[in-house]
Structure 1
Amino acid sequence: MKIFKLTSFFLLVIFYISKVNAEVIKKIQIKGNSRVSAETIKIYGNIKLNKDYSDSDLNQILIDLNSTNFFQDIDIKLSNGLLTVELVEYPVINKLTILGEPSKKYKEQVIKIIKSKEKDSFIKKNIAEDIKTIKKIYSSIGFNFIKVNTKVKERGKNKVDLVFDIEKGEKSKIKKISFTGDKKIREKRLRDIIASEEDKFWKFISNNTNFNQDLINLDTRLLVNYYKSIGYYDVVITSNSAELKESGDVEITYSIDAGNRYIIKKIITNPDTVFDKNIFYPLEKTYSEFVGSYYSPFKVKKLLENIDELIARNNLQFVEHNVEEIIEDSSIIIKFNIFEGEKKLVERINILGNNVTNESVIRGELLLDEGDPFTKLSLDKSISKIKARNIFGKVSQKVSEGSENNLKIIDINVEEKPTGEISAGAGVGTNGGSIAFIVKENNWLGQGNKVSFDLDASEESLKGTINYTNPNYDFLGNSLNYSLGSVSNDKPDQGYENTLINASINTSFEQYQDFFASVGISLSHDDLTTDSSASDSLKKQDGSFSDFSADYGFAYDKRNRAFMPTEGSIISFNQSFPIYADRAFISNVLSASAYNEFSENITGASKLFISTANGLSNDDVRISRRKNLSTKRLRGFARGKVGPVDGDDHIGGNYAASLNFEANLPKLLPDSTKTDVGLFLDFGNVWGVDYDSTIDDSNKIRSSTGVAASWMSPVGPMSFILSTNLSKANTDKTESFNFNLGTTF
């Protein structure tokens, strides 16, 4: 009873003190403001007449006015009903100038990203941060010895001119990349994994030949992720040293300790007693599919997605989970702990640092919003989704207590980075040469959308495509793509040339876990011109034709990863059918691939491909729409020289199919040769002629077997194929040796 009385007494004292210190504002006096009006200051500070204001309320006014970044000094006094606000305004940046950078593009990029802006406040602490930002931008493109000086010129009337004077210095190029230690993986494969590239005279466009620490950190993450994805759980990149040469170039060495390769021994679900264990029983079937296979964080991620799906399906809230990975000899026990988290709600989410990107782009990736139950799980997954957009250099989060005990405030801080890419490539081989040029922007106008333009030219064709993609249309998680393309083919040996122009709109989305769907429409115009040397059948197709078609597709992807998979499978089906067409046809494509790692030294793959084109209403399929097999699907045969023949011309078929068996032998040759070797067995067929019944449809199974080698030569990657034909048609043209040299600039 005494304790209760004592507590009540203290509460009354606190209440009395707060009331004594509170005072009603009868009059407001604002001094020192010239840039910002008194009424605006009242709004920013939420200052109102005839309202009680305690010391904490006055402190909140101070905080609110400080957050505007208009004032470098604020003094607030309340006495006898008079609130006096004395201000010292920041100077205004009258003009912002970037010196030492001739490129308009880079100047605009710098101005976008730095905090200091024309007509905004001149804040000295921002200048230091801006210098760091500028240095980071230039470091990302190889200028590691950059100097940035600032000059401030007083202009009167509390205005200044701000100058950033940039001395870029010389670029640091990556002269050599080496891998040492217990790698267990061939160096050639490791070079494919990392982003960095050695500087060569032809790589005059690539930024990945420029040395910068962010690129090295990315390489380290990519290497660790790759090793872990194939079971090397305790891999360590023991060092990533960079040695600066007198020339200013850099030699990079990655020292790798791969460690042991682990197999998943057991997977356990450990739910808290507050949950019904029966909810998680369906996971046991999924677990059995992974037990006995090599450990991979991708597998753990997939299992966590299954757990999250069960949690959502059963409408469980405030649920958290974590993963315990217990090592026993050369195996791992994976334990999922599922427990009830704090019952907190999200009061507010603040997005910070997005000087270029619209806030809606970031919020569109969040899995939680104001008023939602707060879980660390949802926040971590949201941060991962933002990072996956690949438009920010860094993404971090901070959680603080809200205005009440059951509320949380989340600050998400992003760091903008350059999002444009330019690349070029060239290739030459037994099938001729080609050159390609690609320009990409991954954050168009700060809206998170992707724009790309690519051009591909060879001896007989010219292709160009413009793509515009919204990866999260209307924040539904669906990708919306617009495309405009043109293909011109000049075939003087066959007596024709044609131009195909195509425009399309399509959307794609993940309908169910691992199950993807797409749907779209396209409009195309085909113009075929023949000369006197063309066959009579081709001359009959001379002219212009248009069609408007719809298409849809499905894909079921169970690969362990999209890049260099070693297990799992993917199957897809696509169909296109006419809505209106001068010559109507329906097209179908079915493809399937399965991968299996027989041992550390042998990885196998089997691939099936079937493609058809059939005319409707007695219409014939035009020459540009007929089917062929690429030299990757049917090796040992010349490109486009398989299937039906009209006169002396191979015309493709209404049907094409292939079946491939491949085995990669990564350790057959010493690592020093920088060469991978594989074996293959191919079966294929191109058949069917709908426009002339007198032409042999060439329905015969072709087959070949041989050796494929990929060599990282001093002038770029080269591939060689040595093959022998097991079966063929009399009209087919074979190719027992094929090589290709291709590289990027």
Structure 2
Amino acid sequence: MSFTNIGSMGPRHADRPRFSFLFTLFAAIALVLTLGTVRPVEAQDFRFTSVSIEGSQRVSADTILSYAGIAQGETVSAAELNDAYQAVIASGLFETVEFVPQGSRLVIRVTEFPVVSRIAIEGNRVIDDNAIGNLIQTRVRRVYSPATVEADAKAITEAYEARGQLAATVTPQIIRRPENRVDVVFEIRESRGVEIERLSFVGNRAFSDGRLRRVLETKQAGLFRFIVGRDTFAADRVEFDKRVLTDFYTSRGYVDFEVLNAAAEFSRDRGAYFLTFTVREGNPYDFGTLTVSSEIAQADPADFEKLIRIRKGQTYSPVAVENAIARMEQLATRDGIDFLRVEPRVTRNDRDLTLDIEFNLVRGPRVFVERIDIEGNATTLDRVVRRQFNTVEGDPFNPREIREAASRIRALGFFSDASVNAREGSAQDRVVVDVDVDEQPTGSFTFGANYSVAEGASLVASFSESNFLGRGQSLSFNLTTRLEDGSLSFNFVEPAFLGRDVAFGLSAGIGTSAPIYADHEQRQASVSPRLTFPVSERGRLTVNYRGALSEIRNPDGNVLPAIIQADLDAGRVTTHSLGYRYDWDSRRDGINPDTGIRVAFGQDYAVGGDVDYVRSSAEVSALTTIMNGDVDLRATIEGGVIQSDQGTRVNDRFFTGPSIIRGFEPGGIGPRDTATGLALGGNYYAVARLEAVFPLGLPEEYGVRGGLFFDYGSLWGLDDDTGTDGSAEREWRSVVGASIFWTTPIGPLRFNFSRALDKETYDLEQTFDLTISTSF
């Protein structure tokens, strides 16, 4: 009897074992005429006094015998011998296996799988070798496994499908080498990405197709389809878009919203997809009556009702409900009420389209967090992930807090994927929280050029790392240089200083600047440490120190205004200032996704050193949308004041540019020297900006929108206004203009065309400007 497995390595299904079973059965059958019966057939048994191994090189004989499980002198049946044979095959170590019984001796002949000496990837352009290497499990100097190679080919194919290349194929090839070695070659035949030719919606009444397209991660194929990757079809991205659409609608009160279907159809030439989302919107609901009830004696409903902070008639938002629950649970923790859970009970009023919510305070199950296990973080330290949890080992288990921690982990930007799940621990009242993450690159190096209508061209080199040494710290260097000047800056942020919810930052810089509105240059070196911490749910406070060494120079020997010449004559001066800045932002909680308000103000006090001043600034910005989100309305009011008993220096005063008031050059308005016409800056400024952004009716894939704006402001005030214009009087300027917003692969560009309605004769107007578009 012999059991033989002989494999061959073909290009696609290489070395898959094939089983050939040769069975010989000897039995004696005697016919007993007197009884008229037949004796049963007896199965053959084996008894081996010795077992020998042939063909093994790396795998020891004891290892093979342990897989077979056959002991010398033990009687085994044919079925048991077959099981032993199958066990050796299942080890995955051998290309061929043969069991040959020779009387009382069993011979096990094996041919070991070869060792992988080299892995090659050919034909790939869309996905580089390093990315593919991270996908495959086959490794050099490890035993070759046909099943692993097949799984690797499948993983590579799926990666191409995620890039929209649905017709890409991956074929593994095996090249035999001497000494039982093989080279594994993955031959890749890439295909053209299948693009999203048209992205449309069925069933949407409240929001236009264009508005919904801006929400989705998937984009239509546009002008830059050869660069932008999101216009290709990817099934995973479509599933993500379903969730994004649901979040978009529910945050605006559409509690019954559903994505009924997401149908992707090939075009006739199978070169593109038509993707259609079929949705059911339902009706938008507002908040009705909001109350608190309690089933816990220690929890007074009146105390918790103060924390709801939701107005009756406000558009329903699940975020607002979650924030109210979080505040209530935090109050319970402070008051020592463990295991309190807030259960929102919703009553629908379909007649007036409102939702009454009763926040019921109940006692949750007595379950504790046994431990938090973190896996997949090869670079990122455990503590970076762990500090996203407000829960530690031994705390009461709170499912809502675990979900919020998962959101914070994903928001770090360090991981391509992060899952947080809870499972039963060592006892029924214990829970283990499992965190599984996949890291992604967090650093970048950039070398290129910048161009500004106001400043001209400059060369830029920058390095940034948002997860420095896996500690969650941010580190960046920036070098900017032009023919006339240049600067080098450094910035470092530790987001959890001393393990607290306090961010420590350190900025430093050195450089020479030659403003285009001046005939002098400024040289400066500075360093500024700062601390930022929360002071309310929406507010952040930053305190800082700044030390600077600066001087005004006149390398070209130009004739300078007297007020600037005095600063030059003072030579090198030192500045030591202490300051604060408060920032309140309603966008932090996202309660109203269509409206946001930001308020910021701060002061810097220069004390000691050679400079003495108090510098104050404030800004209020608001954003809202109308016409179901198709039109954005923005408004900003900002201003600043600097006061000094010694008189302000030119590099401390305010100068306006297109980012503050459009339609004028940098230094284009404000106090100006009568003799030279040079800008002098001002001690006061105030500006109001209004803007509307709207679609132009062009296809969404072009990424082009339009805008109209109106700016109104002034810059004025000098300590010595002798021989100047525009210092003593506050003259208001007004500007109207139109903008073109263009979303491109290099960034969102903004083209401004403006005209000044009110200006002074000495102002310098700028009718066109090209900038990078930013939100407030």
TM over 0.5: yes
Match of 1:19 in 2: none
* Unmatched segments (≥5 aa) in structure 2: 1-57, 60-90, 94-111
Contact 1:113–1:356 (CA<8 Å) still a contact in 2? no
Cα deviation, residue 364, structure 1: 1.9
1:207–1:449 Cα change, 3 Å: farther
Aligned residues of 2:372 and 2:432 also touching (Cα < 8 A): yes
* AA in 1 matched with 2:715: V
Provide the rounded CA distance (Å) in 2 between the counterparts of 1:425 and 1:193: 31
The residue number in structure 2 matching 1:704 is: 734
Q: Does 1:366 align with 2:389?
A: yes
1:369-518 matched pairs, under 5 angstroms: 369-420=392-443, 431=454, 440-452=464-476, 465-485=489-509, 489-491=513-515, 494-518=518-542
Distance 1:714 1:185, change over 3 A: farther
**Aligned counterpart, 2:557:** 532
Counterpart of 1:611 in structure 2 is 640
Q: Secondary structure at the match of 1:374?
A: coil
Q: Would you say the 8 A contact 2:686–2:714 is kept in 1?
A: yes
Q: 1:592 is matched with which residue: 590, 596, 620?
A: 620
Alignment CA distance shift 1:580-1:229 (3 Å): farther
Residue equivalent to 1:44? none
Q: Aligned equivalents of 1:606 and 1:315: distance in 2?
A: 45
SS in 2 for 1:577: strand
Closer, same or farther: CA 316–523 of 1 in aligned 2, 3 Å: same
2:764 corresponds, among 733, 736, 739, to 733
* Cα distance in 1, alignment partners of residues 173 and 657 from structure 2: 61
Q: Does 1:226 align with 2:253?
A: no
Deviation at 1:641, TM superposition (A): 0.6
What letter corresponds to residue 658 of structure 2 in structure 1?
T
Point out where structure 1 has 5 or more consecutive residues left out of the alignment.
1-33, 36-69, 73-89
Provide the C-alpha distance between the structure 2 equivalents of 1:439 and 1:524, rounded to a whole number of angstroms.
Answer: 24
Q: Provide the rounded CA distance (Å) in 1 between the counterparts of 2:524 and 2:591.
A: 32
Q: Work out whether 1:312 is the aligned partner of 2:333.
A: yes
Change (3 A) 1:218 1:689: farther
Query: What residue in structure 1 maps to residue 601 of structure 2?
Result: 573
Q: Residue 298 of structure 1 aligns to a residue in which SS?
A: helix
Alignment of 1:621 with 2:644, yes or no, is no
What is the identity, as a one-letter code, of the residue corresponding to 2:495?
P
SS in 2 for 1:512: coil
The structure 2 residue matched to 1:659, chosen from 661, 683, 688, is: 688
Contact 2:710 2:737 in 1 (8 A): no
Measure the CA separation in 1 of the matches of 2:461 and 2:224: 14
Q: Which amino acid aligns with 1:532?
A: G
1:645 to partner: Cα distance: 0.5
Partner of 1:553: 581
Count of residue pairs the alignment pairs up: 657
Shift of 1:301: 3.0
Distance 1:125 1:320 in 2: 49
For the residues of structure 2 that align with 1:424 and 1:184, how far apart are their CA atoms? 45
CA contact (8 A) 2:418 2:435 kept: yes
Q: Is the 8 A contact 1:194 1:222 kept in 2?
A: yes
Per-residue deviation, 1:202: 6.4
Tell me the CA shift for residue 526 of structure 1: 4.0
Mapped contact 1:231–1:261 kept (Cα < 8 A):
yes
- CA shift, 1:322, in A, is 4.0
Residues 65-144 of structure 1 mapped to structure 2, 5 A cutoff: 97=119, 99-100=121-122
d(CA) in 2 for partners of 1:253, 1:533:
66
Question: Residue type of the partner of 1:555?
Answer: D
RMSD: 5.0
Q: 1:615-654 maps to which residues of 2 (within 5 A)?
A: 615=644, 618=646, 620-623=648-651, 625-646=652-673, 647-654=676-683
2:724 aligned residue = 695
Distance 1:364-1:546 versus aligned 2 partners, 3 A rule: same
> In the TM superposition, what whole-angstrom CA distance separates every residue of 1:286-341 from its partner, at most 9, and x where no partner exists?
54643212222332232223222222222221223344444433333334343222
One-letter code aligned to 1:300: V
Q: How does 1:252-401 map to 2 (within 5 A)?
A: 258-271=281-294, 273-278=295-300, 280-285=301-306, 287=308, 289-329=310-350, 330-401=353-424
| Per-residue deviation, residues 179-198 of structure 1 (Å, max 9, x unmatched) | 43326445555555444556
Q: When the two structures are superposed, what TM-score results if normalisation uses the length of structure 1?
A: 0.71
- 2:374 aligned counterpart, secondary structure: strand
> 1:518 deviation in Å?
1.6
CA contact (8 A) 1:471 1:479 kept: yes
Relative distance call for 1:123 and 1:238 in structure 2 (3 A) is same
Please give the alpha-carbon distance, in whole angstroms, between the structure 2 residues aligned to 1:397 and 1:570.
32
Give how far 1:658 is off.
1.7
- CA 495–734 in structure 1, closer or farther in 2 if over 3 Å, else same: closer
Whether the 8 Å contact between 2:534 and 2:540 is mirrored in structure 1 is yes
Q: Show CA shifts across 1:222-250 (max 9, x none).
A: 44333333334444445545566769666
Residues 1:225 and 1:544: Cα distance change in structure 2 (over 3 Å) = farther
Spell out the pairing of 1:714-733 with structure 2 (5 A cutoff).
Answer: 718-723=750-755, 725=757, 727-733=758-764
Looking at structure 1, the residues matched to 506 and 140 of structure 2 have their Cα atoms a distance apart, in angstroms, of 36
CA contact (8 A) 2:340 2:363 kept: yes
Structure 1 vs Structure 2: percent identity of aligned residues? 21
Q: Which whole-Å CA distance do the structure 2 matches of 1:721 and 1:499 have between them?
A: 34
- Distance of 2:234 and 2:421 partners within structure 1: 28
SS at match of 1:589: strand
SS at match of 1:281: helix
* SS of residue matched to 1:380: helix
CA distance in 2, matches of 1:382, 1:323: 21
In structure 2, relative to structure 1, the CA distance for the partners of 1:304 and 1:717 (3 Å cut) is same
Letter in 2 for 1:293: Q
1:301 counterpart letter in structure 2: E
- 2:526, 2:193 → 1: CA distance? 43
CA distance in 2 between counterparts of 1:425 and 1:184 reads 44
Instruction: Return the alpha-carbon distance in structure 1 between the equivalents of residues 234 and 507 of structure 2.
Output: 35
Residue type of the alignment partner of 2:283: N
Deviation at 1:516, TM superposition (A): 0.9
Q: Which SS does the other structure have where 2:413 is aligned?
A: coil
Residue 9 of structure 2 corresponds to none
Q: 1:293 to 1:390 in 2, by over 3 A?
A: same
Partner of 2:8: none
* Counterpart in the other structure of 1:41: none
Give the deviation of 1:684 after TM superposition: 1.6
What is the CA distance between 1:457 and its match in structure 2?
7.8
What SS does structure 1 have at the residue aligned with 2:535? strand
- The answer as to whether partners of 2:446 and 2:461 remain within 8 angstroms in 1 is yes
Shift of 1:695: 2.9
- Structure 1 pair 485/642, CA: closer, same or farther in 2 (3 Å)? same
TM-score if structure 2 supplies the norm length? Answer: 0.69
Q: Deviations over 1:115-155 (max 9, x none)?
A: 77789999998877766666666666666666566689999
* Residues 603 and 399 of structure 1: CA distance in aligned 2, closer, same or farther (over 3 Å): closer
